[in-house]
Structure 1
Amino acid sequence: MGPLNTLVERFIPSALVFAIVLTVVVMIGALVLTDSGPVDVVKSWGDGLAGLLAFMTQMALILLLGYILANTGPVRWALLKLANVPKGRIMPYVFVALITCVAALFTWGLGLVVGAILATEVAAAARRRGEKLHFPLLVAGGYTGMAVWHMGYSGSAPLTAATPDSFLAEHIGETIPLTSTIFAAWNMITVAVALAVICAVFALLAPKKNDAVHEMPEHQMASDDVHYDVETPADKLDASRALTLIPGLLLLLYLVIHFRDGGSITLDIVNWSFLTIILLLVANPFVLIELTKRGASNVGEILLQFPLYAGIMGIMGGTGLIQVLSDSIVAVATPATFGMLAFFSAAIVNFFVPSGGGQAAVQGPVLLTAAEQLGVDPEVAIMALSYGDQLTNLIQPFWALPLLAIAKLRIRDILGYTLVVMIALGVVYTVAMLVIGPNPGG
């Protein structure tokens, strides 16, 4: 594991650099593989830059709201209570991984922050009991949710395909309901198997009784609660519980009306449901503003990268490169093997396009076009992309950065463990795509 850790730390550039390099690669590909000239390529790229502005905001909100939700008083209190539950040599590692995965299935932004908080709090609780736990393995468990998140409630590709007027829905010509993707029986079974495998892997990875462990440093046990002073009438307003409770109740009423009238789950509804819970749980505007400031630093790279992904999408559509790539998939795939090959390709692409939303924009239309040519249901393409995207998150350092910053570790400290989990889940997802077949809807 050591050589791989060193390789990643020394030679893998930032996610932004990946996006820039991928832009150049796609431009060259369009010039070589299509009849487009340099002017056509640059024009397609420039015209596409603004194509994902609404989607970019939706993705940024999911991460920001997930961070805020994980740090609201009741959720933080629940995490502290949970941290005292697991004891012994094996259970703390299994427990952190399982709770993190459940949180990530609710929303990936929440899963990232819950993983970091729970790993540090379980480590702190163990220190107070005089027990020694291997902190890097706990943090690896706290990152494992990113290997299952795309099968859950905040999955970018399924939600985008279910959202009217989204770029995927427009490409298909209709929306794909979540009952055919996230809430399909075959996906729920895959989720259950994946969680069982993750728990088994962490049980096997737990250090033996006499093994050396790297404990969490004692100074990291300090509290980071929000503190504020109430001195002026304006401060009293900012400290008022009612001023967050009122919009929270209004949003709750809106969601009830939305679903009563037959409304579906879309990216916007997912975000409004998270915001509703936050407004109902947060102590006051003071706390909400402070948590927003803290969480905003995690959103910057998304805002910078998505125009580049949109530009790539513009090149692929404007030059006809998307048809060339989909034809190449059709040439080697059959209806029975399409899901597996699409999954493998998505796992590779994710290493260069670490955002699930960005990957849905870049690769989604390609896979959907190939699926249509082969007579494969579009939900197979959507979930193959989802499974592949989430799998290689375990060795892609981009999404680990917020968690590692909280835990004060380096990517090399956890990569060996997450690699083992990735291999095990790779088997699960490969088998799932083969079993699902080309027409799971019948």
Structure 2
Amino acid sequence: MSVHEKLAAAAPVPQEAAPPADTPALERLALRVTAWCEKWYPDAYVFVALTVVAVAIGTMAIGASPGAVSVAFGNGFWSLIPFTMQMAMVAITGYVIASSPPMARLVDRAARVPKNGRSAVAYVAFVSVVASLLHWAISLIFAGLLAKALARRTELRMDYRAAGAAAYLGIGATWAMGLSSSAAQLQANAASIPASLLKITGVIPFSQTIFLWQSLVVTAVLLAVSTLIAYWTAPAPARARTAAELGVEIEPTGISESVQTRPGEWFEHSPLLTLVLVALGGGWVWHELSSKPLLVAISGLNTYNLIFLLAGMLLHWRPRSFLDAVGKAVPATTGVLIQFPLYGAIASMLTTAQGADGASLSHHLSTLFVSVSSGESYPLMMGIYSAVLGFFVPSGGGKWIIEAPYVMQAANDLHVHLGWAVQIYNAAEALPNLINPFWMLPLLGILRLKARDLVGFTFAQFLSHTPIVLILLWALARTLPYSSPVLP
């Protein structure tokens, strides 16, 4: 931590004055919620710990014994370790690529486009949402580094908190409507679908999920709404708080390479080892891409992370530059490493601790929403259920495995289009991300901010997105006929 950051951390957080009466309504809402969060919103670690307590109490309320809840907690605590490592590598490899000399120049060029602080925030939101349709990790890291590059343009008077929230919108709005949708990817590949679920849903190709014209309509609306809300909630220059005013020191995007001083450092400054490692890894990647359909091959995080890692090695060229970039990226993974195990424990308590009737809390929640649904109201009820459960289990793919057997059987029983049921899940599942700090962790590490700094602005997005998404999911379901599952 620099001297500047230490002094900023020691100083009291300045209290924002109440917004003037002529402040636009959405900006006033964002500022007031942000001011409240700065005072009352806990650190992300405290937030997840409180969620653990709430789920444990809820599980015991349905009749599970304290011992069973404790066993479920312990069994689930390490269950996300592979995913935790994958997420840490997402943050590291994304930063390594974006901080390489070629990408740093691209980010800096992109940062020259906006002409003022508000348009800069909207610009970050647009980039984040569009990039999320290709891959959520690209969206999160690239938009975060773009926000940092824009923060260096002090003449913009850009609110750094609003820009950080805008960088997060791909995760909170559209990622699951794009190619990296865990649920859509799983349902499109028979080999990936659990046998018990395959009997219920059959194979559902992309043409019946993310490429439905109804899905494209929802995505286009969310892109427009996200960008507009980001612009309207961005504080005017007089009320904006820059990175410097928040005590955040913005270092250059690129990594300044050290100079070789000893003969033993020759390998560190030679591209020889980089070329050998990239050749080995590239051979495996080529095998994956040539032996599987493209979308199947690149859907796994392991493959994506290796591609990013190899690309980072090449872009930095010399091992020393690459290792320096990794060293600067590691602090961004702190929250991921300590908090993801707690989310694994939450998922386990929700799904494996059985109540007095032998059912889990997750089953009780799903049964409640399905029991009050009809064919007409099912899209709305499933959307609400997916959003609520997503707040406690913020893992798109893992939660789909938990939820799909119940909700897709109900879709069959109520004659709801199965592909649209997947899209209902995708669109609604992203909503709680806007106020849940789980997916913020890699971004917060890059921006050097707290969840409380962003959530006032993402809360305004949440209030705007929720009714729009639910109404669209309900209305567009009426345009899609039901068809029986297509079994392989």
Is the shorter-chain TM-score for this pair beyond 0.5, marking a shared fold? yes
Q: Which residue of 1 is the match for residue 266 of structure 2?
A: 236
Is the 1:19–1:352 Cα contact (8 Å) retained in structure 2? Answer: yes
Match of 1:21 in 2: 53
Q: 2:121 aligns with which of 93, 96, 104?
A: 93
User: Cα offset for 1:421?
Assistant: 1.9
Indicate which of 146, 150, 171 corresponds to 1:118.
Answer: 146
Deviates more, 1:327-336 or 1:1-10: 1-10
Task: Assess, with a 3 A threshold, how the Cα gap between structure 1 residues 154 and 235 changes in structure 2: closer, same or farther.
Answer: farther
SS in 1 for 2:157: coil
Q: What is the match of residue 304 of structure 1? A: 341
Among 138, 143, 146, the residue aligned to 2:163? 138
Instruction: Name the CA distance, whole Å, in 2 between partners of 1:217 and 1:355.
Output: 34
CA RMSD of aligned residues (A): 3.8
| Residues 355 and 70 of structure 1, relative CA distance in 2, 3 Å threshold | farther
SS of residue matched to 1:396: coil
CA contact (8 A) 1:162 1:169 kept: no
Structure 1 residues 50, 380: CA separation in 2 closer, same or farther (over 3 Å shift)? farther
**C-alpha displacement of 1:195:** 0.9
Matches within 5 A, 1:373-384: 373-384=413-424
Specify whether residues 3 and 88 from structure 1 end up closer, same or farther in structure 2 by C-alpha distance, changes over 3 A only: closer
2-side partners of 1:51 and 1:165: how far apart? 22
Deviations along 1:257-314, one digit per CA (max 9) or x if unpaired, are 1346995653255445545544553434444444445244353146413531452365
| Aligned partner letter, 2:457 | Y
Contact 1:69/1:75, CA 8 A, preserved across alignment: yes
1:171 equivalent to 2:171? Answer no
2:317 is matched with: 283
376 and 388 in structure 1: CA distance in 2 versus 1, 3 angstrom threshold = same
Q: What residue is the counterpart of 2:299 in the other structure?
A: 266
1:146-185 deviations in Å (ceiling 9; x for gaps):
2222222333333344455657665344554344333433
2:290 aligned with 1:257: yes
* d(CA) in 1 for partners of 2:343, 2:93: 18
Does the 8 Å contact 2:100/2:254 carry over to 1?
Answer: no
Name the amino acid aligned to 2:337. Answer: G
Compute the displacement of 1:123 (Å): 2.4
The residue type equivalent to 1:222 in the other structure is E
Q: In the alignment, which residue of structure 2 is the partner of 1:213?
A: 240
Structure 1 residue 31 corresponds to structure 2 residue 50: no
**Superimposed CA distance per residue, residues 343-370 of structure 1 (whole angstroms, 9 cap, x where no aligned partner):** 2222223333334345435444443343
State how far apart, in whole Å, the 2-side matches of 1:358 and 1:238 are.
40
Q: CA deviation at 1:98?
A: 0.8
Deviation at 1:234, TM superposition (A): 6.0
Distance 1:367 1:262, change over 3 A: closer
Q: Partner amino acid for 2:427?
A: Y
Q: 1:90 to 1:23 in 2, by over 3 A?
A: closer
Matched residue, 1:426: 466
AA aligned to 1:16 is V
- Whether 1:157 and 2:183 are equivalent positions in the alignment is yes
Q: Please tell me whether residue 223 in structure 1 is matched to residue 252 in structure 2.
A: yes
Which of 422, 436, 440 is equivalent to 2:476?
436
Q: Partners of 1:214 and 1:44 in 2: how far apart? A: 44
Match of 1:320 in 2: 359
User: Does the 8 A contact of 1:350 with 1:389 survive in 2?
Assistant: yes
User: CA, structure 1 residues 433+414, in 2 after alignment: closer, same or farther (shift >3 Å)?
Assistant: same
Shift of the alpha carbon at 1:83? 0.4
TM-score (norm 1): 0.81
Aligned residues of 1:238 and 1:285 also touching (Cα < 8 A):
yes
Contiguous gaps of at least 5 residues in structure 1: none
2:454 to 401, 405, 414: 414
SS at match of 2:430: helix
- Kept in 2: contact 1:30–1:315 (CA 8 A): no
Q: Which residue of 2 aligns with 1:393?
A: 433
Contact kept in structure 2, 1:68 and 1:291, CA below 8 Å: yes
CA distance in 1, matches of 2:98, 2:251: 18
Is the 1:96–1:138 Cα contact (8 Å) retained in structure 2? yes
Q: Which amino acid aligns with 1:385?
A: Y
- With normalisation by structure 2, the TM-score equals 0.74
- 2:469 aligned counterpart, secondary structure: helix
Percent identity between the aligned chains? 24
